[in-house]
Structure 1
Amino acid sequence: MVALILVSIGLASGTILGSILQTNLQAQLSQAADRVDNHLTPSSTASEVLSVGRQEPGTLLVLRTVSGLSGAYVAEDESVVDLDDEEIAHIQAAIEHQPGGTVTLPDLGEYQLLVKSYREGFFALVGLPTSELAATIGQILTTVALLTTGGLLLLAAAIAIIIRNSLRPLRAVADTATRVASLPLAQGDVSIAERVPEAEADPRSEIGRVGAALNTLLDHVGESLAARQRNEERMRAFVADASHELRTPLASIRGYSELSLRALHRDPTAPETAANTEQALERIQAQSLRMTSLVEDLLLLARLDEGQELVFGSVDLSQLAIEAVGDARAAGPDHTWQLDIGEDPVVVAGDARRLHQVAANLLSNARVHTPAGTTVTTTVALDGDSAVLRVHDDGPGVDPAIADELFERFARGDRSRARYTGGTGLGLSIARAIVQAHRGELSVDSRPGDTTFEVRLPVSPADAAPREPADGTEAAAEV
């Protein structure tokens, strides 16, 4: 585009200047013709008129007078040189086809002609050379061509430098992306250390914003890969823990069944055989129930992760806490159980059975993992748009070694996995999954002598206020 513009400007400039020079040449011809008129007589010859008229060098004159046809021109040294008959005839032939045009003489070059006619058949043909006009236009075109070519070369060099410097950040982005693309990201512990240099990720430019966006993307990908690795490690630990939990009851079932078979093979009718078989069947049943409970807990977690298993309705957390504390008091008479609820019921939208499971689990943990005499306080209250259920105890607190993984699956305070200290280690994981399925939060704040588990659930505006029943009984009693 720049080349086209420059060439167009050069051609336009040459055309305009050529037109101006052509006009000036016509004016010079007119002046030369006027000077010829001043010195022309009926008997003059061309050389006489040019000698007297002080014409400019290069002036050409052909006359027809009573003296006949004559022609001459003024040389560079201002001398007058006569034209021969052949040259005069050539000029006559040229003006017959194109009066007032141009003629090219073999030794003199091209001339612009002007014809003036007089009475009695006389005429004067005045000409000036066009070599100066052609030379001037040629110089202009050559200058324009050289300037255009030089300007284009300089412009191309400047544009190349500017584009190269402008695209340097983009090359850095491409190089970074190429290096990242060559990394093995499919599996294993992968970290992405490659980043676009800060100097090439300037957010003030478009390409810099691309570099900054790539760095942000790589940060997110790195975090995702780290999370994937953590999930893989947790999955491996989960499979190992689940295998361990299932292996124990399966081993018990196999051992008791083999023991019963051996007794039957030895003496099926012996009284001790029947007693051993009955005891073995009872243990097999107990282990089967334990294994069934474990599988059901795992299935519940899977369904909660998929957003299933919940049946929503209006749930009175106050009544739920009363029932859960009553059950816990019966199961742990050696603990002190306290209840702190308001006069008005706290109603949320949720699954009553699953929320009762959460409360029972928290109270069971407080009973199992604290010594006798510990005071456990259950509180239900409203906090803004949230309903809060807190279980507080003054026991020894959560072991700092497992504080970060307290809500993970198969997380257990007893590393020896002793059966008397609890179940499979899925209780708090299930409780958190249930609370999260209700769009709530389950958190813990623990230090020696002060441990609080807090369940925070959103209050359903439509169900939060007590409703008057048709028969006039209390709304709280209806719930």
Structure 2
Amino acid sequence: MTETPSLRRRVTLSALALLATALVVFGVVIDFAFGSQVSRDLHDRLVATAARADALVATGASPEQTAAQLNGGGIRALLVTADGQAYGDPAISPDTQAGPGTALAPPAPPPPPDRRDGPGKPVGPPPPPPPPRPLDETNTAIVQPLPDGARLILVADTTQATAAVRDLRELLIGAGAITLAVAAALLIAVARGALRPLDRLTGLARAISTGDRGRRLRPDRPNTELGRAAAAFDGMLDALEAAERQAQEAAEAARRAEAQTRAFLADAAHELRTPLAGIQVAAEQLTNTADDASPDARTRTKRRLALLLSDARRAGRLVTDMLDLSRIDAGLPLRVAEVDVVGIADAQVERADMLAPQTTVVRTGVDRLVITADPHRVGQILANLLDNARRHTPAGGRITVHVEVLGPVAHLVVSDTGEGIAPEDRERVFDRLVRLDASRDRDHGGAGLGLSIARALARAHGGDLVCEPRNGGAQFRLTLPIIAPRP
């Protein structure tokens, strides 16, 4: 079974899958490159600030000045001197270690001194502590040792960088989704337009199946894939139409020839039957009255009349055969009935024995076999087979008719001890007007129609007649169903 997936769906989904894969790869690459660049920028700023701190320490700046110079621009600094004093951003813990993502909380401020107006009297409430920075901020920090033994902690706030990366990712996802949606719509439209020739091909095939055989695709570019398919389809339709036209013409010619042949055979047979019957009757009468003349005249007259009678009988047999062929071609009606085929065989064997007393004709096999068949036509088949055997069996020979039953089929085998039939002629002998020995058959009155008529009659009963191989003679097997099909 040929797979027939939807080309439009397959092309659209394949293209969208490839585009989605490309967009994902492109987004991952952009996200990674942007994040790496942001990280490098922050690190470079921290390194530059650390180098600036080294320069300030080298110039002898105080810790307060150094911390004040370094704070700003998104970078916070805390300078811890060698004796543990901290200067700079109080939100940075002096114990901060270098690394990204460190949550920094402000250190606990020292309690302010009490301000009193006098002994035991407070001036006012203490100032509130500085607000802590949000804990959700992300930071990256480096710890830089200074030449004077102090330790510098630099913290860069990455909140903005992280937000920029997140915004970029959302932008890439949104742009990718919009791109896929637009691409899907465009691909559907493009695929519909690209596959429109296939829709035309389908419509043409349906139109042809309904009887419109003259339509064609006629591609404008036969060198493309669809063009080659359309050209091949048109060529196939042309060939089919030509073959159908030739078949119709041949069938019509055959019908005309068959009708003419049937008309000729029927007309010739009917036209010849009456004069031939008159010739035969006149010849028989002349034969019976020839005794009134002189002996020599009577002898010559009898010879002439015998020749006339022989030719008339031969012509009569030819006319009868022509009539039988005409009826068979037109659909021979059978008058079937239950008959004993053994009795028919015995009658034909007795007739052949009387016509050929120099030849032994016997029947073997079962003694009774009742079948449904046309007794006249079965007798005609056996008569043709036995006449053929008589003409080809020399004096002293033997002709055998064997009757047997094999399953639901009756078998009648007619064999002789004549010269036999060559293997290449066993099928040709059933053709019309075929005589393997034309001169001898003509002398005996044969016209080469007997075996053809016999096979046609056998097949009209639902059986068959074949010539089988045999050493030392010919053998024909007639098969007839026990229950013949009703006409």
TM-score scaled by structure 2?
Answer: 0.44
Tell me the TM-score normalized by structure 1.
0.45
